Structure 1
């Protein structure tokens, strides 16, 4: 299948991982990166303005660029738009001139209240996509209410190559060894810093990797437990495998009931210790394939118990690794599921 892929192609991004997965499935993928094309806008002084205005004021430039890229000789079978935050309704109408199905894949929560300013352009374009791929059950009705023709709900995914475990015979560098690790970004309204501070006060030996933690009002407490900036690739996998337990914190503003960490951690060989939700409990048997908790106090309790029981930790970790593979939620699996849906609902109708 020939696929015209529009998304972020920076190495390490989830968008790049999906692009690579499509190629591994032996599709012919012609890709263009609008983020690279307009990097002067995204890195310039007005980047926050454009972000918070939903990219409304650069739509003319975006549309001119789309006209340029579709004038190539590439004749795709489908068009895959990843994220879609940059493309308004006119952008998708231009792409429709190719007379091919156009699918939107969005990991975020564009129909949630907190995201609507960022996705203002995308929201107007929803009716013009042939298929919208979403991550949350609640997104299905919200997308349909905004005019979506077809909606497919999937889970988040790990990447079969990017997140593959290290050879367990390898010695992990000491700077990646930890008891309880959290790998993720500080977010202003998510209260992750408050939660981790509570764990520290309860005596849990935390190790933190990620961006922007210096912005936290709890930074003085967190600083001794901070190990470094954002991790990706082999460093990310090494930190997961080097931890006895890996915390999975949700993004509440995105209405998450699971995240990519929910799948990446067990796949990479870590033991997932995450917030108890209906989706986590549907994925893993609690206490057998992953560990769940409802608040800092319960989290500290289960962490302390597991840190003292290596045999139990190893049994749960191995069971989690086995279970996540049985779920068939790697990027290749998910991409194939999406393409099958496009073929069934869109290509067969043309």
Structure 2
């Protein structure tokens, strides 16, 4: 059993929390689950300061975070390993404080910290990149760029589902009627990603799309999308209900984040949904197209594919095959956390 000092953050709270629980399930002890953003002085938490911090690489909050880390260091806890999820709040001086615990410091990021989409958001992280004992990332580009920036050890992994949080309803009849749909998209509206235009193509083709996610009212097409919009991002059993209750579940990538697969790519089949996503090298590596998931090259092909699938009787067959395949791939949080820890500790020895 390892004693783990774990740092999550609000932006990825649910995924970070699920990984911490997965570490506990595989036999480790979380000495402290710490969210750096929670401990910031109140004036940093306004919507204005949140935006300023994001765009300035969290430079202004560094003294406050360093002060909090010193308190943890002085508390006397003795971790065997430190796990940092995402790392955008921690600059070089923060890492030098963490190194005083004299144990391996591991970073795991499902973001694209070396990419261009988020501007200067990851400046603090990049200043500390050389001090991590291991950095685990989910993109080939990120792996290569972290190495070029001086990271000591970089491990590329696939994203993961959570074995407990994303488990499907045992009895599908228990799924509430308001979460049942023909085609579902669960995700945030993002500027310059054209997700609204993609969904507009499906709607114009006569497909009933159910949309859940944040910021959709910002879309210039929201008046068209509004009848299909069912509310903000989903969590917990509602998230599972919307996936499992849909005949088809769309998986849209973030081109700005250089995605070739996303967490939805694993969560949807695990939760009992049918993944309908862009045809990429990583998606076709994961699933047999047409048998375990279905893939398309553009919105028009997606619309035609959805119409064909809704008219046929093999959706449940594909759902079941995808669920079986994703379990066989062993890409749950427990599997990925175990892999990252083993690599991090082997390097430290």
Pairwise TM-score range, normalised by the shorter structure = over 0.9
TM superposition shift of 1:12: 6.1
Partner residue of 1:271? Answer: 274
CA distance in 2, matches of 1:114, 1:169: 39
Corresponding position: 1:173 with 2:187: no
- Contact kept in structure 1, 2:143 and 2:155, CA below 8 Å: yes
Q: Secondary structure at the match of 2:74?
A: coil
TM superposition shift of 1:229: 1.4
TM superposition shift of 1:169: 4.8
Partner residue of 2:301? Answer: 298
RMSD: 1.4
| CA separation of 1:282 and 1:179: change in aligned 2, threshold 3 A | same
| CA separation of 1:319 and 1:338: change in aligned 2, threshold 3 A | same
Partner residue of 1:19? Answer: 20
Match 2:130 to one of 111, 127, 132: 127
- Structure 2: any 5+ residue segments left out of the alignment? none
TM superposition shift of 1:115: 2.8
Q: Deviations over 1:251-272 (max 9, x none)?
A: 1111000000000000000000
- Contact kept in structure 1, 2:260 and 2:283, CA below 8 Å: yes
- Contact kept in structure 1, 2:196 and 2:219, CA below 8 Å: yes
- Contact kept in structure 2, 1:110 and 1:116, CA below 8 Å: no
CA distance in 2, matches of 1:11, 1:48: 16
- Contact kept in structure 2, 1:164 and 1:268, CA below 8 Å: yes
TM superposition shift of 1:208: 0.4
1:247-262 alignment runs, 5 A limit:
247-262=250-265
CA distance in 2, matches of 1:265, 1:317: 9
CA distance in 2, matches of 1:79, 1:12: 17
CA distance in 1, matches of 2:65, 2:176: 45
Partner residue of 2:120? Answer: 117
Partner residue of 1:327? Answer: 329
| CA separation of 1:152 and 1:216: change in aligned 2, threshold 3 A | same
Deviates more, 1:22-31 or 1:141-150: 22-31
TM-score when scaled to structure 2? 0.96
CA distance in 1, matches of 2:41, 2:159: 27
Match 1:315 to one of 308, 314, 317: 317
CA distance in 2, matches of 1:12, 1:246: 23
TM superposition shift of 1:141: 1.3
CA distance in 2, matches of 1:339, 1:128: 17
CA distance in 1, matches of 2:54, 2:120: 8
- Contact kept in structure 2, 1:82 and 1:105, CA below 8 Å: yes
- Contact kept in structure 2, 1:9 and 1:16, CA below 8 Å: no
TM superposition shift of 1:279: 0.2
Give the total of aligned pairs. Answer: 346
| CA separation of 1:44 and 1:215: change in aligned 2, threshold 3 A | closer
1:229-240 alignment runs, 5 A limit:
229-240=232-243
Match 1:75 to one of 54, 75, 78: 78
CA distance in 1, matches of 2:304, 2:267: 24
CA distance in 1, matches of 2:141, 2:172: 43
Q: Deviations over 1:314-343 (max 9, x none)?
A: 111100000000111111111001011012
Q: Deviations over 1:103-157 (max 9, x none)?
A: 1111100000123400010011000000001010111110011110000000111
| CA separation of 1:49 and 1:224: change in aligned 2, threshold 3 A | same
CA distance in 2, matches of 1:294, 1:306: 16
Q: Secondary structure at the match of 1:107?
A: coil
| CA separation of 1:9 and 1:17: change in aligned 2, threshold 3 A | farther
TM superposition shift of 1:36: 1.3
- Contact kept in structure 1, 2:169 and 2:175, CA below 8 Å: no
- Structure 1: any 5+ residue segments left out of the alignment? none
1:190-229 alignment runs, 5 A limit:
190-229=193-232
- Contact kept in structure 2, 1:246 and 1:270, CA below 8 Å: yes
Match 1:108 to one of 97, 108, 111: 111
